[in-house]
Amino acid sequence: MNTVWRLCGIITFVVATITYAAEIYVAPTGNDAAAGTSAAPLATLAAARDKADQLKAGNSPVTVYLRGGTYYLSAPVVFGPANSGTATAPIVYAAYGSEKPVVSGGIKVTPTWTAYSGNANIQVTTIAQNLKVDQLFFNGKRQVLARYPNFDANTVILDGFNANCLSRVANWANPGEGPGYIRGLQVNLWGGNSYIITGKTGTTLNQTWVGDNNRGSGLDATHRMVENLFEELDAAGEWFYRKSTGQLFFWPPTGTNLSTATIELASQDELLRFIGTSNATAASVKYIQFNGVTFTHAYRTLFSQTYETVLQSDWAIARAGALFMQNAENIVIENCLFDQVGGNGIFASGYNRNHLFANNVFNDAGASCVCLFGLTSSVRCPGSWSSTPTCTDKMPGPVDPVNGEFPAYVTVSNNMMNHFGRFEKQPAGVAMSATECDTIRHNTIHDCPRAGLSINDGCWGGHVIEYNWIYNTVLETGDHGPFNAWGRDRNIRWSNDTSATTLDSWKTTIIRNNRIEPKGGDFGLDMDDDASNYYAYNNLLFGGGIKFIGTMRKNTYVNNILLRDSQVKIFGGQITSASNFYMTRNIIANSQPYQLGSNTPDYFKQNTKLVDSNCYSNAATQVCGDQCYTWAQWHTAGLDVHSVLGIPTFADTAKVFPNNYAPRGDYSVTSAAALTLGFKNFPMDSFGVIQVSPTAVRDPGAIGHSNEQETGLSSIYFNNGRLAVSHSGNYQVRITMVNGRTVTVLHGINGSVVYMNINRLSPGMYFAVVEANRGSQIKRFIVNE
């Protein structure tokens, strides 16, 4: 038999010894003409970057220590191929000790304030004219751009909205002065729609849509607000900047001292850019790390960037971020704080490989936290809502991407993502499109207007989504879920042909061991419009349940727990032939476990692979859609023949776990009925961000500070089909299957190279666990037949 191996990983392990790092020191009070030593630090990141280029000769690692204080940027710091490190000699930018370096895209102003003659509560000063600024920070906290209605912390949607705001603003003398902005929701509540006010004609506003939704410019009639209008500066915390005169107006928060306050204005769209010259490894920027740095004061991209529609999803995105990378490999962002950035936090665009974004905090981002977006050029048959693809590239295959212009093998791990989407209403904690073989693990994602995690299309799968805790999502929009996936690719265009299913979604995505808590009425796993080739198991879903719609195929749901009105819902009555829908050994504690839509039990059976051996609440006496069916009718159709009814019992639903673990409740099943069916309990104390032990965190500053030989794992990377392990001392590589069973164990010592014959492996998902005395690190790979 001819076998094609589609790898999301490795076949070779390369082990190298550690060399000692050169050191560079930077401080806000430094001097770029200085030597860059601890006694004579440089002043800027750009100077440190150039100094690192000089010191890395001979493949030596370089550590740039950033002293505490704020580094204000007048332009993004750009890292290119010439600034790269190597696998064994990365360039590391790290906070010095416990100090807090802050990289700011803002302008610090030290004005002299006077009371404004029109309102004594408002202070005014004059700064430079025609500045690009759209956020004001008072002692580090973002203030309110003058708006109507006034900011209301108790109103979740837009922090306050008013249906009549546009007619109100049309009465002002010059609403285009700011210019004024309109922010609202799309007419179907599928995200946001925003506009720039360019002036008015009579009492009618002239406005330009910024394009922040893939469904057109329709603005919801109720959910809308206006801002950046001087006439609306009427509450504490509000501000306005008049570009033509340079006047800055501010009504300071009650009880504060303006004369001693720090005032900063966001100005730069992006702070760091990692830009290679092409998608070839030799031309990429690579092996650069940032550790322990705060990134803040990035400009809102909502009104400064061009929006790009994302294939056939609802989304439109600004291809920008506080940290932006394209044609990049092995970039590590760890232990950093993204504080109130105006747009996206990290944006990986086009060709990106083997990045690690770990142990970071994203707080109050204007848009998404992490974006992994390939270029449209990598998709064989792209289309959007407004353009039907002209390509006929359907059968047979080809299934792989056109080129390498997309992210792959990116790990997003142990990040806290909260209160994002402050301005853009189509965001996600992790947003993905045209990307492959990524790992999204142990993230806590909560309080946002739309999805916690979104996969915008079926291109190209192979992801592992595991151990995430997602809650308080879809707070401002509708018809969505905490986890959202679309399959709007060739599968939906040739929906009558089952062989189209995996042309784009050609690798299975695994969703496992997640705790997902949607608000009432949302879907827990929102598998929307033909989302296909997903394998979901060991997930704890509170409410919402599983959505099933359209020509979705090859989706498997095993060993999940669905609680608090969760159900499997055939949305809109849609189901198609040969869906291969497979659902077994799940627990569904709902009186209505299935919502069939217009489908009958016979039709549901005909178009699914297996629905059996599940455990349902004993209150589940029937299955309903447009009409209800008894369990006898359900069984007669051959569905759930071996399933059982009974009240599921759990170990301790109020349990408080130790070690500051936030999720509450041990939902391990204790009822014999479910266990007899083959249900297997899974860990309840590993959802979301977990405390990082010292052995689990790469410590770039530890190398080279002692004459004693370092023993233990330093770093692990994929590169050109190889897993490169930077290590000294003994180690072992353990290959395991997804169920934890060890396939083989390989051993090595300094300088050795361990080879593995992949022909020994059956098709499936595997993990390479590299273990040493200081800890372990894991990479995964998929072997497809």
**Cα(471)–Cα(202) distance, integer angstroms:** 46
| Per-residue pLDDT at 383 | 75
Average pLDDT over residues 595-619: 89
Amino acid at 406: F
User: Would you list the domain boundaries of the chain?
Assistant: 1-15+714-785, 19-105, 107-266
The 10s digit of each residue's pLDDT in 130-189 is 999 999 999 999 999 999 999 999 999 999 999 999 999 999 999 999 999 999 999 999
Mean pLDDT of the region 691-704: 33
pLDDT value for 647: 83
pLDDT reported for residue 726: 54
Dig out the tokens for 576 from the structure: 């198609």
Class in CATH terms, 1-15+714-785 = mainly beta
Q: Which residue has the higher pLDDT, 399 or 292?
A: 292
Mean pLDDT estimate for the chain? 86
Which pairing describes strands 62-66 and 91-95: parallel, antiparallel, or unpaired?
Answer: parallel
The pair of three-digit structure tokens given for residue 189, joined into one six-digit string: 């509540």
Residues with Cβ within 8 Å of residue 708, at least 6 apart in sequence = none
Instruction: Return the DSSP state at 377.
Output: G
pTM for the complete prediction?
Answer: 0.87
Whether the predicted pLDDT of 637 surpasses 80: yes
412 beta partners:
357, 440
Q: Could you give the CA distance from residue 104 to residue 765 in angstroms, rounded to a whole number? A: 41
- pLDDT confidence band for 543 (50 / 70 / 90): confident
Residue 8 confidence (pLDDT): 52
Q: How confident is the model at residue 312 (pLDDT cuts 50, 70, 90)?
A: confident
- What does DSSP say about strands 764-772 and 775-783: parallel, antiparallel, or unpaired? antiparallel
Cβ(723)–Cβ(27) below 8 Å: no
pLDDT value, residue 724: 52
With a CB cutoff of 8 Å and minimum separation 6, the contacts of 33 are none
End-to-end CA distance of the chain: 10
- The token pair at 118 is 């029109």
Kindly tell me if the per-residue pLDDT of 398 is higher than 90: no
Q: Whole-angstrom Cα distance, residue 229 to residue 150?
A: 12
Q: What gap in Å lies between CA 482 and CA 469, rounded to an integer?
A: 10
Read off the pLDDT band of 390 (50, 70, 90).
Answer: low
Q: Is 130 in contact with 100 (CB distance < 8 Å)?
A: no
Greater confidence (193 vs 87) lies with: 193
Q: Of 104, 96, 145, 159, nearest to 338 (Cα)?
A: 104
Lowest-confidence segment of 231-245, 264-278, 450-464, 658-672 by average pLDDT = 658-672
CA 213 to chain centre: 18
pLDDT > 70? residue 15: no
Question: Who contacts 268 (Cβ-Cβ below 8 Å, separation ≥6)?
Answer: 73, 74, 75, 76, 105, 106, 297, 298, 299
Predicted pLDDT of residue 510: 96
pLDDT at residue 776 in the model:
60
Over residues 369-384, the mean pLDDT reads 91
Instruction: Report cis status (omega within 30 of 0) of the bond before 179.
Output: yes
Q: What pLDDT is attached to residue 302?
A: 95
Region 115-133: what's the mean pLDDT? 96
Average pLDDT over residues 98-109: 96
Kindly give, in sequence order, each residue whose CB lies less than 8 Å from that of residue 544, ignoring residues fewer than 6 positions away.
481, 482, 516, 518, 521, 522, 523, 524, 525, 526, 566
Amino acid at 62: V
User: Is a pLDDT exceeding 80 seen at residue 449?
Assistant: yes
Q: Give the span between the Cα atoms of 516 and 452, in whole angstroms.
A: 9
Bridge partner residues of 308 (DSSP): 317
- Which of 159-173, 496-510, 636-650 shows the lowest mean pLDDT across its residues? 496-510
With residue 675 as reference, give the H or E element that holds it: helix 672-676
**Is the preceding peptide bond at 398 cis, omega within 30 degrees of 0?**
yes
Between 761 and 755, the higher pLDDT residue: 761
φ, ψ (nearest 5 deg) of residue 453:
-145, 130
Q: Which of 171, 165, 164 is nearest to 147 (CA)?
A: 165
Cα 542 off chain centre by: 21
Query: Tokens 């915390």 correspond to what residue?
Result: 237
Percentage of residues in the chain with pLDDT exceeding 70?
84
pLDDT band at 313 (very low <50, low <70, confident <90, very high): confident
pLDDT at residue 370, rounded to an integer = 98
Q: What is the rounded distance in angstroms from the CA atom of residue 462 to the CA atom of residue 404?
A: 15
pLDDT at residue 493 in the model:
79
pLDDT at 278 over 50: yes
Beta strands in 576-694 (DSSP E): 581-584, 587-588, 594-595, 608-612, 615-616, 622-624, 628-630, 644-645, 650-652, 666-669
* Top-ranked range on mean pLDDT: pick from 316-330, 396-410, 586-600: 316-330
- 429 pLDDT band (50/70/90 cuts)? very high
Confidence check: pLDDT of 717 > 80: no
Per-residue pLDDT tens over the stretch 471-495: 999 999 998 899 999 888 888 878 7
Neighbours of 749 (CB within 10 A): 11
pLDDT: which is higher, 545 or 187? 187
Reported confidence tier of residue 718, pLDDT bands at 50, 70, 90: very low
Confidence of residue 578 (pLDDT cuts 50, 70, 90): confident
374 torsion bin: left (phi>0), alpha (psi -120 to 50), beta (else):
beta
